[in-house]
Structure 1
Amino acid sequence: MNRHDADHEHEHDELAARLRQLPAERLPPATAWQGIAARLREEPRLRPAVAVVPAPCRRRWLPIAAAAAVAALALLGTGRWRELHEQPPSPPESPLEVQADALADQYRQAIAAIPQDTVPAELVPALHELDASAAGIRSAIAQSPDAGFLLGQLRRTYALRLELTRQGLAAAGLAT
Protein backbone atom coordinates (compact mmCIF):
# COMPACT_ATOMS: atom_id res chain seq x y z
CA MET A 1 0.00 0.00 0.00
CA ASN A 2 1.47 3.35 -1.00
CA ARG A 3 1.13 6.67 0.81
CA HIS A 4 -1.74 7.84 -1.42
CA ASP A 5 -3.79 4.72 -0.64
CA ALA A 6 -3.14 5.15 3.09
CA ASP A 7 -4.28 8.81 2.96
CA HIS A 8 -7.39 7.83 1.04
CA GLU A 9 -8.22 5.06 3.51
CA HIS A 10 -7.70 7.43 6.45
CA GLU A 11 -10.06 9.99 4.83
CA HIS A 12 -12.62 7.24 4.26
CA ASP A 13 -12.45 6.11 7.89
CA GLU A 14 -12.73 9.70 9.11
CA LEU A 15 -15.75 10.35 6.89
CA ALA A 16 -17.42 7.12 8.04
CA ALA A 17 -16.90 8.10 11.69
CA ARG A 18 -18.41 11.55 11.07
CA LEU A 19 -21.41 9.99 9.32
CA ARG A 20 -22.01 7.67 12.28
CA GLN A 21 -22.11 10.72 14.60
CA LEU A 22 -24.97 12.31 12.68
CA PRO A 23 -28.44 11.86 14.17
CA ALA A 24 -30.49 9.11 12.56
CA GLU A 25 -33.39 11.48 11.89
CA ARG A 26 -33.67 15.25 11.62
CA LEU A 27 -36.96 17.02 12.07
CA PRO A 28 -37.48 20.61 10.96
CA PRO A 29 -38.38 23.06 13.71
CA ALA A 30 -42.08 23.45 14.53
CA THR A 31 -42.10 26.97 13.13
CA ALA A 32 -41.24 25.60 9.68
CA TRP A 33 -44.33 23.38 9.75
CA GLN A 34 -46.48 26.31 10.85
CA GLY A 35 -45.21 28.39 7.91
CA ILE A 36 -45.95 25.59 5.46
CA ALA A 37 -49.47 25.16 6.84
CA ALA A 38 -50.11 28.91 6.60
CA ARG A 39 -48.99 28.97 2.95
CA LEU A 40 -51.27 26.04 2.14
CA ARG A 41 -54.25 27.86 3.61
CA GLU A 42 -53.65 31.00 1.51
CA GLU A 43 -56.29 31.71 -1.06
CA PRO A 44 -55.30 30.60 -4.59
CA ARG A 45 -55.90 34.11 -6.00
CA LEU A 46 -53.00 35.39 -3.91
CA ARG A 47 -50.63 32.95 -5.60
CA PRO A 48 -51.05 33.28 -9.41
CA ALA A 49 -49.80 30.20 -11.25
CA VAL A 50 -49.42 31.85 -14.65
CA ALA A 51 -48.93 35.34 -15.92
CA VAL A 52 -52.17 36.95 -17.02
CA VAL A 53 -52.12 38.47 -20.51
CA PRO A 54 -54.05 41.73 -20.85
CA ALA A 55 -57.45 41.35 -22.54
CA PRO A 56 -56.81 43.49 -25.67
CA CYS A 57 -53.76 41.41 -26.56
CA ARG A 58 -55.66 38.15 -26.08
CA ARG A 59 -58.55 39.23 -28.27
CA ARG A 60 -56.31 39.99 -31.20
CA TRP A 61 -54.43 36.65 -31.22
CA LEU A 62 -57.18 34.34 -30.04
CA PRO A 63 -58.79 33.71 -33.48
CA ILE A 64 -55.38 33.15 -35.09
CA ALA A 65 -54.30 30.74 -32.36
CA ALA A 66 -57.60 28.86 -32.56
CA ALA A 67 -57.34 28.55 -36.35
CA ALA A 68 -53.75 27.32 -36.09
CA ALA A 69 -54.76 24.73 -33.49
CA VAL A 70 -57.64 23.46 -35.62
CA ALA A 71 -55.39 23.24 -38.70
CA ALA A 72 -52.71 21.37 -36.76
CA LEU A 73 -55.25 18.90 -35.39
CA ALA A 74 -56.73 18.37 -38.83
CA LEU A 75 -53.36 17.68 -40.41
CA LEU A 76 -51.83 15.67 -37.63
CA GLY A 77 -55.03 14.00 -36.50
CA THR A 78 -55.88 12.30 -39.80
CA GLY A 79 -52.36 10.97 -40.21
CA ARG A 80 -52.29 9.70 -36.65
CA TRP A 81 -55.75 8.13 -37.06
CA ARG A 82 -54.53 6.26 -40.12
CA GLU A 83 -51.41 5.12 -38.25
CA LEU A 84 -53.50 3.72 -35.42
CA HIS A 85 -56.06 1.97 -37.62
CA GLU A 86 -53.91 0.58 -40.42
CA GLN A 87 -52.13 -2.67 -39.86
CA PRO A 88 -48.39 -2.57 -40.47
CA PRO A 89 -47.23 -4.77 -43.32
CA SER A 90 -46.14 -8.17 -42.09
CA PRO A 91 -42.57 -9.21 -42.84
CA PRO A 92 -42.18 -11.71 -45.66
CA GLU A 93 -42.10 -15.33 -44.59
CA SER A 94 -38.91 -17.31 -44.89
CA PRO A 95 -38.85 -20.41 -47.12
CA LEU A 96 -38.86 -22.56 -43.98
CA GLU A 97 -42.00 -20.80 -42.70
CA VAL A 98 -43.69 -21.33 -46.07
CA GLN A 99 -42.88 -25.06 -45.87
CA ALA A 100 -44.13 -25.19 -42.27
CA ASP A 101 -47.38 -23.50 -43.35
CA ALA A 102 -47.85 -26.04 -46.16
CA LEU A 103 -47.16 -28.90 -43.73
CA ALA A 104 -49.67 -27.44 -41.24
CA ASP A 105 -52.30 -27.19 -43.97
CA GLN A 106 -51.80 -30.86 -44.91
CA TYR A 107 -52.02 -31.81 -41.24
CA ARG A 108 -55.26 -29.82 -40.76
CA GLN A 109 -56.80 -31.52 -43.79
CA ALA A 110 -55.83 -34.96 -42.49
CA ILE A 111 -57.18 -34.20 -39.00
CA ALA A 112 -60.40 -32.80 -40.46
CA ALA A 113 -60.99 -36.16 -42.18
CA ILE A 114 -60.89 -37.98 -38.81
CA PRO A 115 -63.92 -37.77 -36.49
CA GLN A 116 -62.35 -36.11 -33.41
CA ASP A 117 -65.34 -36.57 -31.13
CA THR A 118 -64.80 -40.33 -31.11
CA VAL A 119 -61.18 -40.22 -29.89
CA PRO A 120 -60.84 -42.13 -26.58
CA ALA A 121 -60.73 -39.78 -23.57
CA GLU A 122 -57.47 -41.28 -22.28
CA LEU A 123 -55.66 -40.09 -25.44
CA VAL A 124 -56.92 -36.49 -25.30
CA PRO A 125 -54.16 -35.21 -22.93
CA ALA A 126 -51.43 -36.73 -25.12
CA LEU A 127 -53.01 -35.28 -28.25
CA HIS A 128 -53.18 -31.83 -26.63
CA GLU A 129 -49.52 -32.17 -25.64
CA LEU A 130 -48.57 -32.98 -29.23
CA ASP A 131 -50.59 -30.00 -30.46
CA ALA A 132 -48.79 -27.73 -27.96
CA SER A 133 -45.46 -29.17 -29.09
CA ALA A 134 -46.31 -28.44 -32.73
CA ALA A 135 -47.24 -24.86 -31.79
CA GLY A 136 -43.92 -24.48 -29.96
CA ILE A 137 -42.01 -25.75 -32.99
CA ARG A 138 -43.91 -23.30 -35.24
CA SER A 139 -42.94 -20.49 -32.88
CA ALA A 140 -39.31 -21.62 -32.94
CA ILE A 141 -39.39 -21.64 -36.76
CA ALA A 142 -40.68 -18.05 -36.74
CA GLN A 143 -37.84 -17.03 -34.40
CA SER A 144 -35.12 -18.99 -36.21
CA PRO A 145 -36.12 -19.18 -39.87
CA ASP A 146 -32.78 -20.76 -40.82
CA ALA A 147 -33.09 -23.79 -38.50
CA GLY A 148 -34.10 -26.43 -41.06
CA PHE A 149 -34.06 -29.26 -38.53
CA LEU A 150 -37.20 -27.76 -36.95
CA LEU A 151 -39.20 -28.65 -40.05
CA GLY A 152 -38.29 -32.30 -39.53
CA GLN A 153 -39.38 -32.09 -35.89
CA LEU A 154 -42.66 -30.50 -36.94
CA ARG A 155 -43.24 -33.22 -39.53
CA ARG A 156 -42.57 -35.97 -36.94
CA THR A 157 -44.86 -34.28 -34.38
CA TYR A 158 -47.73 -34.04 -36.87
CA ALA A 159 -47.18 -37.65 -37.98
CA LEU A 160 -47.15 -38.86 -34.37
CA ARG A 161 -50.35 -36.90 -33.63
CA LEU A 162 -52.11 -38.44 -36.66
CA GLU A 163 -50.87 -41.95 -35.86
CA LEU A 164 -51.93 -41.73 -32.21
CA THR A 165 -55.37 -40.50 -33.26
CA ARG A 166 -55.73 -43.39 -35.75
CA GLN A 167 -54.60 -45.95 -33.17
CA GLY A 168 -57.09 -44.62 -30.65
CA LEU A 169 -59.90 -44.82 -33.16
CA ALA A 170 -58.85 -48.33 -34.24
CA ALA A 171 -58.82 -49.46 -30.59
CA ALA A 172 -62.33 -48.05 -30.22
CA GLY A 173 -63.39 -50.09 -33.24
CA LEU A 174 -63.79 -47.10 -35.57
CA ALA A 175 -62.31 -46.86 -39.06
CA THR A 176 -60.24 -43.86 -40.12
Structure 2
Amino acid sequence: MNDHDDNAFHDDLQARLRALPAERLPPAHTWQRIAARLPPRTAVVPMPAPTRPARRWPLRIGLGLAAALAVLMVVPTAPPPTPRPTPLQRQADVMAAEYQQAMAALPADRIGADWQPALHELDSSAGTIRAALAENPRSGFLLTQLQRTYALRLELTQQAVNAAGLPS
Protein backbone atom coordinates (compact mmCIF):
# COMPACT_ATOMS: atom_id res chain seq x y z
CA MET A 1 0.00 0.00 0.00
CA ASN A 2 1.31 3.48 -0.78
CA ASP A 3 0.51 6.91 0.63
CA HIS A 4 -2.19 7.52 -2.00
CA ASP A 5 -4.04 4.34 -0.99
CA ASP A 6 -3.73 5.27 2.72
CA ASN A 7 -5.15 8.74 2.12
CA ALA A 8 -8.05 7.36 0.05
CA PHE A 9 -8.85 4.80 2.75
CA HIS A 10 -8.65 7.49 5.44
CA ASP A 11 -10.88 9.89 3.48
CA ASP A 12 -13.43 7.13 2.78
CA LEU A 13 -13.51 6.16 6.45
CA GLN A 14 -14.00 9.76 7.53
CA ALA A 15 -16.89 10.19 5.08
CA ARG A 16 -18.59 7.01 6.29
CA LEU A 17 -18.21 8.08 9.92
CA ARG A 18 -19.77 11.48 9.17
CA ALA A 19 -22.71 9.74 7.48
CA LEU A 20 -23.62 7.83 10.65
CA PRO A 21 -26.54 9.25 12.66
CA ALA A 22 -25.44 11.45 15.57
CA GLU A 23 -27.67 9.61 18.05
CA ARG A 24 -29.41 6.25 18.03
CA LEU A 25 -32.47 5.63 20.12
CA PRO A 26 -33.60 2.12 21.00
CA PRO A 27 -36.98 1.04 19.64
CA ALA A 28 -40.08 1.88 21.68
CA HIS A 29 -40.76 -1.76 22.64
CA THR A 30 -37.36 -1.85 24.42
CA TRP A 31 -38.44 1.00 26.69
CA GLN A 32 -41.74 -0.77 27.38
CA ARG A 33 -39.92 -3.93 28.50
CA ILE A 34 -37.66 -1.88 30.79
CA ALA A 35 -40.65 -0.05 32.30
CA ALA A 36 -42.43 -3.37 32.95
CA ARG A 37 -39.48 -4.62 35.01
CA LEU A 38 -39.27 -1.52 37.23
CA PRO A 39 -41.00 -1.61 40.62
CA PRO A 40 -44.27 0.35 40.78
CA ARG A 41 -44.01 3.97 41.85
CA THR A 42 -45.70 5.05 45.02
CA ALA A 43 -47.74 8.19 44.93
CA VAL A 44 -46.23 11.17 46.68
CA VAL A 45 -48.73 13.00 48.85
CA PRO A 46 -47.73 16.59 49.52
CA MET A 47 -47.77 17.76 53.12
CA PRO A 48 -50.39 20.38 53.91
CA ALA A 49 -49.07 23.86 54.56
CA PRO A 50 -49.09 24.99 58.19
CA THR A 51 -52.22 26.89 59.10
CA ARG A 52 -50.47 29.49 61.21
CA PRO A 53 -47.15 31.19 60.59
CA ALA A 54 -44.12 29.97 62.49
CA ARG A 55 -43.31 31.90 65.64
CA ARG A 56 -40.06 33.79 65.87
CA TRP A 57 -37.89 33.44 68.92
CA PRO A 58 -37.79 36.55 71.01
CA LEU A 59 -34.56 38.49 70.72
CA ARG A 60 -33.78 37.90 74.40
CA ILE A 61 -33.69 34.12 73.99
CA GLY A 62 -31.53 34.30 70.89
CA LEU A 63 -29.04 36.63 72.56
CA GLY A 64 -29.02 34.48 75.69
CA LEU A 65 -28.21 31.36 73.69
CA ALA A 66 -25.48 33.19 71.79
CA ALA A 67 -23.92 34.39 75.05
CA ALA A 68 -24.03 30.89 76.54
CA LEU A 69 -22.32 29.43 73.49
CA ALA A 70 -19.66 32.14 73.62
CA VAL A 71 -18.96 31.36 77.27
CA LEU A 72 -18.67 27.65 76.51
CA MET A 73 -16.20 28.35 73.74
CA VAL A 74 -14.04 30.64 75.91
CA VAL A 75 -13.86 28.46 79.02
CA PRO A 76 -10.42 26.85 79.04
CA THR A 77 -10.31 23.12 79.24
CA ALA A 78 -7.73 21.35 81.32
CA PRO A 79 -5.12 19.44 79.34
CA PRO A 80 -5.30 15.68 79.68
CA PRO A 81 -3.18 14.32 82.50
CA THR A 82 0.35 13.38 81.53
CA PRO A 83 1.01 9.68 82.02
CA ARG A 84 3.67 8.79 84.55
CA PRO A 85 6.98 7.78 82.99
CA THR A 86 7.75 4.09 82.91
CA PRO A 87 10.89 2.76 84.63
CA LEU A 88 12.58 2.48 81.23
CA GLN A 89 11.77 6.11 80.46
CA ARG A 90 13.21 7.16 83.83
CA GLN A 91 16.36 5.17 83.04
CA ALA A 92 16.58 6.88 79.66
CA ASP A 93 16.28 10.28 81.36
CA VAL A 94 19.04 9.41 83.85
CA MET A 95 21.20 8.14 81.00
CA ALA A 96 20.62 11.35 79.03
CA ALA A 97 21.58 13.48 82.05
CA GLU A 98 24.79 11.49 82.59
CA TYR A 99 25.57 11.77 78.87
CA GLN A 100 25.07 15.55 78.96
CA GLN A 101 27.41 15.83 81.98
CA ALA A 102 30.09 13.78 80.24
CA MET A 103 29.75 15.85 77.06
CA ALA A 104 30.01 19.09 79.05
CA ALA A 105 33.35 17.92 80.46
CA LEU A 106 34.84 17.55 76.94
CA PRO A 107 36.00 20.50 74.80
CA ALA A 108 33.71 19.35 71.98
CA ASP A 109 33.23 22.85 70.56
CA ARG A 110 36.76 22.86 69.04
CA ILE A 111 36.54 19.51 67.25
CA GLY A 112 37.49 19.58 63.57
CA ALA A 113 34.90 19.73 60.79
CA ASP A 114 35.85 16.28 59.48
CA TRP A 115 34.43 14.70 62.67
CA GLN A 116 31.16 16.66 62.61
CA PRO A 117 29.10 14.49 60.16
CA ALA A 118 29.64 11.34 62.22
CA LEU A 119 28.91 13.15 65.49
CA HIS A 120 25.79 14.71 64.00
CA GLU A 121 24.61 11.30 62.78
CA LEU A 122 24.98 9.82 66.27
CA ASP A 123 23.08 12.78 67.77
CA SER A 124 20.31 12.29 65.21
CA SER A 125 20.17 8.57 66.00
CA ALA A 126 19.88 9.29 69.72
CA GLY A 127 16.99 11.69 69.05
CA THR A 128 15.24 9.10 66.89
CA ILE A 129 15.66 6.44 69.55
CA ARG A 130 14.29 8.81 72.23
CA ALA A 131 11.24 9.49 70.04
CA ALA A 132 10.72 5.75 69.49
CA LEU A 133 11.05 5.18 73.23
CA ALA A 134 8.33 7.78 73.83
CA GLU A 135 6.09 5.81 71.44
CA ASN A 136 6.98 2.44 72.97
CA PRO A 137 7.95 3.19 76.59
CA ARG A 138 8.38 -0.46 77.61
CA SER A 139 10.96 -1.39 74.97
CA GLY A 140 14.14 -2.60 76.63
CA PHE A 141 15.72 -2.97 73.19
CA LEU A 142 15.33 0.77 72.54
CA LEU A 143 16.89 1.59 75.91
CA THR A 144 19.86 -0.63 75.06
CA GLN A 145 20.20 1.05 71.66
CA LEU A 146 20.11 4.48 73.31
CA GLN A 147 22.82 3.46 75.76
CA ARG A 148 24.93 2.10 72.91
CA THR A 149 24.46 5.28 70.84
CA TYR A 150 25.44 7.54 73.76
CA ALA A 151 28.53 5.40 74.40
CA LEU A 152 29.55 5.56 70.74
CA ARG A 153 29.02 9.34 70.69
CA LEU A 154 31.18 9.82 73.78
CA GLU A 155 33.88 7.51 72.42
CA LEU A 156 33.96 9.26 69.04
CA THR A 157 34.04 12.69 70.71
CA GLN A 158 36.96 11.55 72.89
CA GLN A 159 38.81 10.31 69.79
CA ALA A 160 38.19 13.65 68.05
CA VAL A 161 39.46 15.58 71.07
CA ASN A 162 42.59 13.40 71.22
CA ALA A 163 43.18 13.77 67.48
CA ALA A 164 42.95 17.57 67.78
CA GLY A 165 45.49 17.53 70.59
CA LEU A 166 43.04 19.15 72.99
CA PRO A 167 43.23 18.41 76.71
CA SER A 168 40.41 16.13 77.82
Q: Which TM class, normalised by the smaller chain length? A: 0.5 to 0.7
2:95 is aligned with what amino acid?
L
Aligned mates of 1:77, 1:140 — CA distance in 2:
35
The alignment's C-alpha RMSD in Å is 2.4
**Displacement of 1:136:** 1.5
1:77 is aligned with what amino acid?
M
Deviations 1:32-57 (A, max 9, x none): xxxxxxxxxxxxxxxxxxxxx89xx6
1:63 is aligned with what amino acid?
R
- Alpha carbons of structure 1 residues 71 and 157: separation in structure 2 relative to 1, 3 Å: closer
Q: Which has the higher helix share?
A: 1
Query: SS state of the match for residue 165, structure 1?
Result: helix
- Counterpart residue number, 1:131: 123
Does structure 1 conserve the Cα–Cα contact (< 8 Å) formed by 2:108 and 2:161? Answer: no
Which ranges in structure 2 are unaligned for 5 or more consecutive residues?
A: 1-22, 24-52
- Alpha carbons of structure 1 residues 64 and 117: separation in structure 2 relative to 1, 3 Å: same
Q: How high is the sequence identity, in percent, across the aligned residues?
A: 50
| Structure 2 counterpart of 1:142, from 134, 149, 152 | 134
RCO higher in 1 or 2 (8 Å CA, sep ≥ 6)? 2
Query: SS state of the match for residue 90, structure 1?
Result: coil
- Counterpart residue number, 2:92: 100
| Structure 1 counterpart of 2:110, from 118, 140, 157 | 118
Q: How many aligned positions are there?
A: 118
